[in-house]
Amino acid sequence: MAAGLGTRMRSKRAKVLHELGGAPLIAHVVRAAQALDPKTILVVVGHQAEEVEQAALAEVGELASFAVQAKQRGTGDAVESARDRLEASDSLVLVLSGDVPLIKVETLRKFIEHHQNARADCSILSVRLENPTGYGRIIRDANGAVQKIVEQRDANEEQRQVKEINSGIYCFDAKKLYGALRNVEPANDQGEYYLTDVPEIILRDGGTVSVFLHNDSREVSGINTRAELAEFENLIRRTAIRKLMIDGGVTFIDPSHAYISAEAEIGRDSIIHPNVTIEGKTIVGEGCVIRSGVRITNSRLGDAVVVKDHSIIVDSQIESNCAVGPFAHLRMNAVLEEKANVGNFVEVKKSRLKRGTKAMHLTYLGDATIGERTNIGAGTVTCNFDGRNKNETIIEDDVKIGSDTMLVAPVRVGARSVTGAGSVVTRDVPPDSLVAGVPAEVKKKLSRG
């Protein structure tokens, strides 16, 4: 169920599109469903249906299909909107809520097994909460048998004392579910069709309802407000960092001020300084040092890489023993081969620096391929944009680019050549040549070696 706006988020965006740990809430839920190997994952969409569909498809592909609930008239109505797809099937229907993202696959497996063993028509996954405010309560009779679910706002004083709550996760026999849904009335405080009325109706019609009491309440807490979203984010982050410290042998100077995605991998003996953000599917090797204020997104770092303060690395690759920063910016598949060095205020876009090459100060390298052991002087710019197209710069091995050289692309600088300070290189430079001036011209041939 993912059709609601989520009024309590006070947002223009549908709640299930808000991100947790770098992925929209709906992605977490369909990912858990996918792991159960279902016939199909039917996502009920309404608010911003198209974006929600995209988010689900991006996560599980064609396994996801969609039922549209045009008007959000309650969770019962949400399930109703999939009637023609499910009513006649012999399937077991597992209902998940789009705003309960931390549910574990293991728990769902146990829950389904419980449902099957109990031969129930309906099973409810419940937990006990010290503070059950806001949740539907599981009402049992004197013998402990479940009678119904009562929503917080429809509950009387006595019912509100009940600490066992409905997680919003259910198993149903499809036919029983859709039979009972016909009898759900919007006779409640919100005037909505509640899915939570279905268990009582099934019981009334002589069916069986069972409750699976789970022991980890955090897994099933729903996100209704931004405050809860932030709490969850914090929980995910702390869990990931703790795991990296305990199992992964990673040092965090201040774990409470590190922001590491759950998908990131960091090798042992790496040291993460305060205020580092590592996002997406980033891999950091062993023995790396990541200094303060660094952001690394969807990138791969080898071993013993040092990233100095306030550098940004996005969609890029850095091999072992490289140094980057401070204040460097690598993006769009920048590649640094082993022992390459990119220093202060250097931007590298869609460029490769081969082994041992250095660009230490105030430089822009875009659409460039730079050979081995080359030195790029301070203030060098690859002038890659002619106003219309992006053009390539190629610099071969063992070149010395003088400070403040402008390389007007497309252009190639041959191996072992030197450009004088302030050169504007508009034509290809042959190998073993010294060029200088505006525009740069060959001043002399250099002897090899």
What residues are annotated to the active site?
361
Site string for ligand UD1, 293-332 (x = CB under 6 A): ----------------------------------------
Binding of residue 74 to Ca ion (CB under 5 A): no
- Distance from chain centroid for Cα 34: 17
User: Of 95-103, 111-119, 139-147, 394-402, which part binds ligand UD1 (CB under 6 A)?
Assistant: 95-103
3-state SS, residue 279: strand
Amino acid, single-letter form, for residue 34: Q
Amino acid, single-letter form, for residue 85: R
Pairing of strands 271-272, 251-252: parallel
Residue 366 binds: one of Ca ion, ligand UD1, none (C-beta under 5 to 8 A by kind): none
Residues 6 or more apart whose Cβ sits within 8 Å of residue 388: none
Residue 166 binds: one of ligand UD1, Ca ion, none (C-beta under 5 to 8 A by kind): ligand UD1
By CB under 6 A, name the one of 48, 123, 126, 166 that touches ligand UD1: 166
Site string for ligand UD1, 5-24 (x = CB under 6 A): -----------x--------
Pairing of strands 23-24, 19-20: antiparallel
By CB under 6 A, name the one of 3, 56, 378, 429 that touches ligand UD1: 3
Greatest Cα pair distance in the chain: 101
By CB under 6 A, name the one of 32, 49, 67, 75 that touches ligand UD1: 75
By CB under 6 A, name the one of 21, 22, 24, 98 that touches ligand UD1: 98
Place of tokens 């097994």: 113
Cα(420)–Cα(93) distance, integer angstroms: 73
Binding of residue 56 to ligand UD1 (CB under 6 A): no
Torsion of CA 296, 298, 302, 303, to 10 degrees: 50
Beta strands in 315-410 (DSSP E): 317-318, 323-324, 329-331, 335-336, 341-349, 352-353, 358-366, 368-370, 375-376, 381-383, 393-395, 400-401, 406-408
User: Of 72-80, 99-107, 231-239, 354-362, which part binds Ca ion (CB under 5 A)?
Assistant: 99-107
Residue 77 binds: one of Ca ion, ligand UD1, none (C-beta under 5 to 8 A by kind): ligand UD1
- Report helix, strand and coil shares of the chain as percent, to nearest 5: 25, 30, 45
Site string for ligand UD1, 185-224 (x = CB under 6 A): ---------xxx-------------------------x-x
Q: Tokens in use for 154?
A: 């429809």
Residue 167 binds: one of Ca ion, ligand UD1, none (C-beta under 5 to 8 A by kind): ligand UD1
Binding of residue 97 to ligand UD1 (CB under 6 A): yes
Q: Torsions phi, psi of 238, nearest 5?
A: -60, -40
By CB under 6 A, name the one of 135, 178, 232, 364 that touches ligand UD1: 135
3-state SS, residue 33: helix
Of 167 and 363, CB closest to ligand UD1 = 167
3-state SS, residue 134: coil
Distance in Å, CB of 132 to ligand UD1, minimum: 9
Of 7 and 389, CB closest to ligand UD1 = 7
Distance in Å, CB of 411 to ligand UD1, minimum: 56
Cα(365)–Cα(379) distance, integer angstroms: 10
Question: Cβ(409)–Cβ(384) under 8 Å?
Answer: yes
Residue 52 binds: one of Ca ion, ligand UD1, none (C-beta under 5 to 8 A by kind): none
Residue ranges binding ligand UD1 (CB under 6 A): 1-4, 16, 44, 69, 72-75, 77-78, 97-100, 135-136, 149, 151, 165-168, 194-196, 222, 224
